[in-house]
Structures are given as structure tokens and as C-alpha cells.
Amino acid sequence: MADNEDMLGLSVRGFAAATAAKRPTPGGGSVAGVVGALGVALGEMALNFTKGKKKYAEHEEYYAHLSVRMENARRMFQDLVADDIAAYGMYRETTQMPDGPEKDEAMQLATAAAIDVPRQATKLALAVLEDLRELGPKSNPWLITDLLASGVLVVAAIRLSDFNVRINVPQVADKAAAEEIRQASTDDLEKANRILEGLEKAAREHLP
């Protein structure tokens, strides 16, 4: 199986097998993209089962806007799977270069790519969480567990992304910049957890 194979073209069983195989990709970053996409998909499902109902007719314009946002977010998470694999490929090629200034420079570029992908995933996931928070009171309460599952998966994608940032950031030559990146990732994860806690708190009135 080639590293550049379309992982999203695999079955669920095939993707799981590819992840389990003794090969570097798909790894945690690719899984984060899939998990994020699935999280958004659950939010979309809750939205699709709510819109069009007379009880929620006053929110139809909002639903139409949100539907486009969530579909775009799901596609962006899917794109990040390929981006993560490409970033690893860039890193692997760099490790095979002869030692010297060119390799050092290339390694910094590869490290930046390896950090940029999970940071993009985190920013996207935070936007989705904000949408889920706003959708909660405007959705069918029978779908609250799907919204919560959506939030849990989106936060999991952020957590996986934070791991990838933390493992790569020591390679950044500018240590002040490295610390700033690490702290931003930590702050984003904490923000995500707070939003999820808010979703869970709001859902308690509907859960036994």
C-alpha cells in the first residue's frame, strides 16, 4: 500500500487496517482528521433531523447557513488527512539528505509543516465547537446525545493535534517561537474542554 494512496477511499475496515500496519502513515495526525470529520458529521446529522420542522421554523435561515459551514468543515478535516501524510513525507525525505546547512534548513521547513497541519485542525475544530454550542438550544432535544458525541470527537481531534504539536515543537530552532506554539496549543485544548463541559452541562436537563 503506497503512502500516497487515497486513505479516504478506503473502507472503514481498510483504514483501520492501514493504521494498524507497520508503516508510518496513516498515523495520529491522519486519524485526527478522520475523527474530526466524523465529529462534524454527527453534528450535521443532528442539524438535518432538526431543520424543516415546524417547531424550529424560526431558525431555518440559521440552519441553512450552518449546514454550509459544517459541510465545509467536514471536507476540510478530510483534506487534512492527506496534508498530514504529505507533511510526514516531506520530513522523511529531509532525513535522507546529507548533513549540512541545506538539511538543517529543510528540516525546519518539514517541522513547520508537521506543526501547521495539527494547528489547522485545532482552529477548525474550535470553530466547529462554537457552532455546536450555538446549535444546541436550537436543535431537537432527542438528538442531544448525537451533539454531545459530535463535541467529544471534535475535542478528541484537538487532543490528538496537541500531541502532534508537542512532539514536533522541540525541533523548532527558534525556542521562543517554539514555546509560543506549544502554549497556544495548550490554551486551545483548554478552551475546547471548556466548551465541551458547557455542552454537557446544557444537556443534563435532557439526560436522566
* Residue ranges of domains in the chain, CATH in brackets: 27-203 (1.20.120.680)
Q: Which percentage of the chain shows pLDDT scores above 70?
A: 98
User: In this predicted model, what pLDDT tens digit does every residue of 71-99 receive, in sequence order?
Assistant: 999 999 999 999 999 999 999 999 999 99
CB atoms within 10 A of CB 56: 15
pLDDT value, residue 116: 97
Length of the chain: 208
Q: Phi and psi at residue 21, in whole multiples of 5°?
A: -65, 160
Q: Whole-prediction pTM value?
A: 0.92
Separation of alpha carbons 188 and 12, rounded Å: 29
